[in-house]
Structure 1
Amino acid sequence: MPLAVYRLLLILLGGGFAVAFAVMVLPPLLQDPDIIGAFAAGFVNPYASGYALDAILCWCVLAVWVVHEARSAGVRHGWIALVLGVAPGVATGFAVYLLLRTRPARDGRG
């Protein structure tokens, strides 16, 4: 896959999730700004709990990867992906991190 297509797909997927998140989550959150309640709503039944736990642990795996590659491969600004992994979500944070990885490393590797 050409690099331009790869980057475009990452932008579309990460941005698409961010837009979907904004459309689905922000209106009810603005009406009732209960962030703890919004978080707890992800655990209303065993199925929702499984998806919520998966998203949380995916963010943890992403965090380990970002910290590791910051030192081993010279990937900079990974913290941006971790912040975006919290809101709007891991899909956007992961896409941004993969885009960051396509930039040249600061020490000339990768």
Structure 2
Amino acid sequence: MTKSAFQYIISFFGILFALSFVYFVVPPLLQDFDPIGAALGGFVNPFSTGYSLDIICTWFVFSTWVLYEAKTKGIRRGWIAILLGVVPGVATGMAFYLIIRMKQEKE
């Protein structure tokens, strides 16, 4: 797989997740504006709790990686990826980070 194909594929999935997030999450959030209730909705049963904890832990690991590479490799703008990892989610944040990382490694 070429680098450009890789970038297109991860861009597609990152954008697809962001659009899915907007489609499924934003309308009910705007209707009953309750961000705390929305966040706690991920913990309504053992299965959703498992998925939610996985994503939360993944975000912490991802954020640690981004901060580490900012210091050791000088990767810039990783903080944007960390924020994107919160909203809309880790899939979009990681896709963004991998793209900026690949572009900066060329320089």
TM-score (norm 2): 0.96
Alpha-carbon distance between aligned partners in 1 of 2:104 and 2:23, rounded to the nearest angstrom: 34
Identify the residue that residue 37 of structure 1 maps to in structure 2.
Answer: 37
Give the aligned residue type for 2:48: A
Match of 1:85? 85
After TM superposition, give the deviation of residue 16 of structure 1 in Å. Answer: 0.3
8 A Cα contact 1:74 1:105, kept in partner: no
CA distance, structure 1, for counterparts of residue 73 and residue 34 of structure 2: 40
What's the CA shift string for 1:6-36, capped at 9, x where partnerless? 1100110000000000000000001011000
Count of aligned residue pairs for this structure pair: 107
Q: Which amino acid aligns with 1:23?
A: Y
Distance 2:5 2:103 in 1: 15
Shift of 1:104: 2.5
Counterpart of 2:43 in 1: which secondary structure?
Answer: coil
The one-letter code sitting in structure 2 at the alignment partner of 1:88 is P
Stretches (4+) displaced over 3 A = none
Give the CA deviation at 1:105: 4.4
Gaps of 5+ in 1: none
1:1-110 correspondence runs (5 A): 1-105=1-105
Shift of 1:71: 0.8
Instruction: Give distance in 2, aligned partners of 1:51 and 1:105.
Output: 33
Distance in 1 (alpha carbons) for counterparts of 2:70 and 2:95: 16
1:14·1:91 contact (CA, 8 Å) conserved in 2?
Answer: yes
Q: Return the structure number with greater helix share.
A: 2
**2: distance between equivalents of 1:105 and 1:14?**
20
Find the residue that maps to 1:42 and give its secondary structure. Answer: helix
Is the contact between residue 43 and residue 49 of structure 1 (CA under 8 Å) also seen in structure 2?
yes
